[in-house]
Amino acid sequence: AQSVTQPDIHITVSEGASLELRCNYSYGATPYLFWYVQSPGQGLQLLLKYFSGDTLVQGIKGFEAEFKRSQSSFNLRKPSVHWSDAAEYFCAVGAGNTGTASKLTFGTGTRLQVTL
């Protein structure tokens, strides 16, 4: 069975500083990987996804993530954080084709706080 580990429960960065959120996955085949962001009391919004090809993927809001198969990682990065980036971030791995459903396994999330 697949699993996702987000080792950092809470991270604080200063506005304008760079950001890296860690994600490690466990999956036997080619993983399908996602990063989502959640503001308080809201649903999840997709930031970016990796299916295949270029291991550096670009997403919305200036985020990017790099897939490293040798390290089983899919870390999320942003060069310069804005105060509006404060939220909870979830990494997820897909179970591959299961009919028409796309079952995902989510990490426990990393809460990002941005100081001014």
Partner 1 sequence: DGGITQSPKYLFRKEGQNVTLSCEQNLNHDAMYWYRQDPGQGLRLIYYSQIVNDFQKGDIAEGYSVSREKKESFPLTVTSAQKNPTAFYLCASSAAPAIGNQPQHFGDGTRLSIL
User: In this structure, how many other beta carbons lie within 10 angstroms of the beta carbon of residue 89?
Assistant: 24
Nearer to partner 1 by Cβ, of 80 and 113: the residue is 113
Interface characters, 71-110, with partner 1 (x: CB under 8 A): -------------------x---xxxxxxxxxxx-xxxx-
Q: Contact, 19 vs 78, CB < 8 A?
A: yes
- CB of residue 78 to partner 1, shortest distance in Å: 20
- CB of residue 66 to partner 1, shortest distance in Å: 18
Q: Contact, 65 vs 77, CB < 8 A?
A: yes
- Cα–Cα dist 52/54, whole Å: 7
CA–chain centroid gap for 88, Å, is: 10
Interface characters, 2-41, with partner 1 (x: CB under 8 A): -------x--------------------x-x-x-x----x
Q: Which residue has the tokens 């996804």?
A: 49
Write the CA distances from 44 to 17, 53, 90, 106, integer angstroms.
Answer: 24, 25, 9, 11
Say how many residues touch partner 1, by CB under 8 A.
30
Name the residues that contact partner 1, by CB under 8 A: 9, 30, 32, 34, 36, 41-46, 49, 51-52, 90, 94-104, 106-109
